[in-house]
Structure 1
Amino acid sequence: MDVSMSRLVQPFDERGHRLTAIWRKDKREGHFFPAPGRASAPEIMLTLPNILTLSRILAVPLLAALLWWPHWQLGYALAFALYCLMGITDYFDGMLARSSGAVSRLGIFLDPIADKIMIAAVILVLTAKGVFTGPHVGDLHVVAGLIILVREIAVSGLREFLGGLQVSVPVSKLAKWKTTFQLVSLGALILGGALPAMEWIHLSGLVFLWAAAILTLVTGWDYLRVGLRHMD
C-alpha cells in the first residue's frame, strides 16, 4: 500500500460518532487502517467508557443471583442498589465517550447489548420467581414481560437486516420513553421485593410494565414497517 497516497483521518461511524483512534485512509482503495504510533485495538477496547459497559454486562449474573430468592428482602435491597448503579454507569459511559471523543465501534456494539441482557435477565428471573403477579389478573402480567422480550429479539433481527441494506431507523422519542418505562418498572418491582409492606411500589411497577409493553409494541411497529418496505 502506497503510504504517500494516504492521509490521516479520524473516521466516524454510521451515526456520526467519532471513533477513538486516528486512522489512515488509502485513497485508491478507500480502506482505513491504524496510523503508526496511534492507539492500538487493545487500547481502544480498554477505554474507560468500554470498561464501564463491560462492567455492566459482568454484573448481570450477580444481579440475577440476588433476585433468585423472592423473600430475601436484603437480597432485593442489594439488587436494587446494584440495579441503580448499573443505570448510573450506563449514563456515564455514554457521556464520557461523547465528551472525550472516545466513541468506538466496540462501545456502540456493546452498549445496547448490555441494556438488553440486563432487562432480559431481570424479566426472566422475576417471572420465574412469581414476582409478575398482582390483583385481579394474577399471573397475566407475565404477558407484558413476554411482549418486551419478543419485541427486543425481533427488533434486533430487523436491525441486522436493515443494517445490511445500509438503512437506519432513527430513535424516536417514544422509543426513549419505552426504555425509561422499562427501567422504572423493573426497578420498582425489585424495590417492592425489598419493601413488601409498601405494596403500592409493587403495583406501580406493574403499571409501568404494561405502559412499557404498549410503547414496545408501538415502537416495534416502526421498525417492522421500515423492514417490510425493504423485503422482497
Structure 2
Amino acid sequence: MQWNIPNILTLIRLLAAPGVAIMFLYFARPLADWYAMILFILASVTDFLDGYLARKWKQESRFGAMMDPIADKAMVIIALVIITGLSSAEKLVMDPYILLPATIILFREVFVSGLREYLGDKANLLQVTSLAKWKTTVQMIAISVLFAKGVFEHYKLNLSQGMDDTIYYGILNGTVEDVNHLVWYVNATDASWSAGVFLLWVAAILTFITGCDYLRKGMPFLREDK
C-alpha cells in the first residue's frame, strides 16, 4: 500500500463505517444522531476527494481501486442497518418505507460483490458506470437526511415533554398559542423524513437498474458450456 493522501482518505472512510454504529453504543441520543450524521457526511466527502486527488496527482493504486468500493458499501450497509433499526424501534413495527428500499440496496450490493468475485480476473468488465456513481451519491445524501430526521425528532420530543395531548396537538393545529421552537422541529422532522424516504427510494431504483446492468454484462460468463 502506498501511503498517499487518496489512500489515507479511503482508509479513513473504511474505519468511519463501523464508527457510525459505535456512536449509538457510547452516546445518548440526540448526541449519537449528531455524531453519526457528522461522521457519515465527512466520510462521504472523502469519497469524492480521494478519487479526485488520485486522478489529479496521478496516484491511482491497486489498494485504492480495491478498497474504495468496499468502503462505500460498508458505509451504506452499516448506516442502513442503523436507520432501519431506529425507525422500526420508534414505530414498534418494521417500517416498510425504509425496509423495502434498504433491502433492494443491500441485496444488490451483495449480489454484485459475489458476481465480481466469481468473475475473478474478468471482473474488470464490471467497471463502475456514471449511473453507479450517481447511485452512491444519492444513497449517501438520503442517509444523511434520514440521520438529520433523528436529530430533529429527538429535540421535538424533548420540547413536547410535560404537555398533555390537548396542548400539544393544539399547538400543531394552531388553536393554542404558538410555540415556535416546537413547531419548527415538528416541521423539520416531517420534511427530513419525507425527503430522506424519497431519496432512498430514488437510490433503490438506481441501485436496481445498475444491478441489472452488471448482471447483463456478466451473463455471458454464467452460461454453461454445451
Does TM, scored on the shorter chain, surpass 0.5? yes
Give the aligned partner of residue 39 of structure 2. 82
Task: Check the 8 A contact 2:139/2:203 in 1, yes or no.
Answer: yes
Question: 1:158 and 2:115 equivalent?
Answer: yes
1:122 & 1:105 partners in 2: Cα distance? Answer: 26
Task: Give, in whole Å, the separation in 2 of the partners of 1:82 and 1:165.
Answer: 35
- Name the structure 2 match of 1:23: none
| SS class of match (2:125) | coil
Report the Cα offset of residue 176 of structure 1.
Answer: 2.4
2:95 to 134, 139, 142: 139
SS at match of 2:59: coil
The answer to whether residue 93 in structure 2 is matched with residue 102 in structure 1 is: no
C-alpha change, 1:59 and 1:206, in structure 2 (3 Å) is same
Residue range with higher mean Cα deviation, 144-153 or 66-75: 66-75
- Counterpart position of 2:220: 229
Q: Where do residues 113-152 of structure 1 align in structure 2 (5 Å cutoff)? A: 113-130=70-87, 139-141=95-97, 142-152=99-109
Match of 2:193 in 1: 202
CA RMSD of aligned residues (A): 2.4
The answer for unaligned runs of 5 or more in structure 1 is 1-43
C-alpha distance after superposition, 1:141-179 (max 9, x if no partner) = 201101100100101111233343365134333322221
| Letter of the 1:174 counterpart | L
Cα shift readout 1:49-92 (whole Å, capped 9, x = no counterpart): 11111111112222112245997122212221111111122221
Greater RCO (Cα-Cα under 8 Å, separation 6 or more): 2
Question: So what's the TM-score if we normalise by structure 1?
Answer: 0.72
Name 2:175's counterpart in structure 1: none
CA 125–97 in structure 1, closer or farther in 2 if over 3 Å, else same: same
Structure 1 segments of 4+ aligned residues over 6 angstroms from their partners: none
Distance 1:195 1:89, change over 3 A: same
Q: Which runs of 5+ in 2 are unaligned?
A: 154-184
Residues 173/210 of structure 1: CA separation in 2 closer, same or farther (3 Å cut): same
The residue number in structure 1 matching 2:18 is 61
Distance 1:206 1:64 in 2: 20
Worse-superposed segment, 108-117 or 196-205: 196-205
Number of matched pairs? 187
**Of 170-179 and 74-83, the range deviating more from structure 2:** 170-179
Q: Could you say if the C-alpha distance between residues 71 and 145 of structure 1 is closer, same or farther in structure 2, counting changes exceeding 3 Å?
A: farther
For residues 171-227 of structure 1, the C-alpha deviation after alignment (integer angstroms, 9 at most, x for no partner) is: 333322221221111011001111222121112101111111111111111111122
Structure 1 108/172 Cα, relative in aligned 2: closer, same or farther at 3 Å? closer
Higher strand share: 1
> What is the rounded CA distance, in whole Å, between the counterparts of 1:132 and 1:84 in structure 2?
24
**3-state SS of 1:184 partner:** helix
1:69/1:125 CA distance change after superposition, 3 Å: farther
| More helix per residue | 2
Within 1, Cα distance between the matches of 2:144 and 2:46?
15
The share of aligned pairs that are identical, in percent, is 40
Secondary structure in 2 matching 1:103: coil
Higher deviation after alignment, 108-117 or 81-90: 81-90
1:216 to 207, 211, 226: 207
